[in-house]
Amino acid sequence: MIVKSFVLGTVLLVAVSAMGQAPAQSNSEIQIGQSIADIFKSNSNSDISLIAAGFLNPFKDTKNLSADFQFPSDELWLVNLTGKQLNDAFERSLAFYPEASPDMLYFAGCEVSFQYGKTTKAKVLGVTVGGVPIDPAKTYKVSMPASLARGGLSYFAVWNFQKAEKVISPAISKLLEGKSVQTSTVRWLSRQSL
């Protein structure tokens, strides 16, 4: 049997597979996703920004982030989400953990701690925004691609916006053009249970 590695942030998980060695969400993909989320946040004046792994191209270009985004004409929307909706979204993001999934969210403006076990599903333990625990009843300004805001990748179970509070200009491809990956700290913080 061959050992297969899965990476999320800097946490390395090991499982057994007969298929060979391949990373799930690689460290380079995580850094690309987080870099794009950082750009979304800084250009939208949002509390939090989100992007899902399914919006990234399979090839990685660390020198030009616009090449890493699959939908060049997509708009960046600013919407309002409650703390509860954000928590539900992060739970959904972990649904297939530690397997790679297009639903996996990369984000800026918050940290998410979660727990996983060999026989138990991954579960969100807490979310902090600017170091403060998220308030389920509070509304947060969140920036994300319009297709994600409309409920793409089955996030319609958490939100389903028909219009934005604000559309951020220019289009996402222009926001990302010529920008390169910036190394950032881990935003998914894991704790393994036995």
Total-model pTM: 0.84
pLDDT in tens, 14-60: 222 222 222 357 888 889 999 999 999 999 999 999 999 999 998 88
Domain range annotation of the chain:
2-192
Q: pLDDT tens digits for 119-164?
A: 888 999 999 998 999 999 999 999 999 999 999 999 999 999 999 9
The DSSP secondary structure of 107-155, one letter per residue, reads EESEEEEEEE-SSS--EEEEEEETTEEPPTTSEEEEEEEHHHHTTGGGG
The class level of CATH for 2-192 reads alpha beta
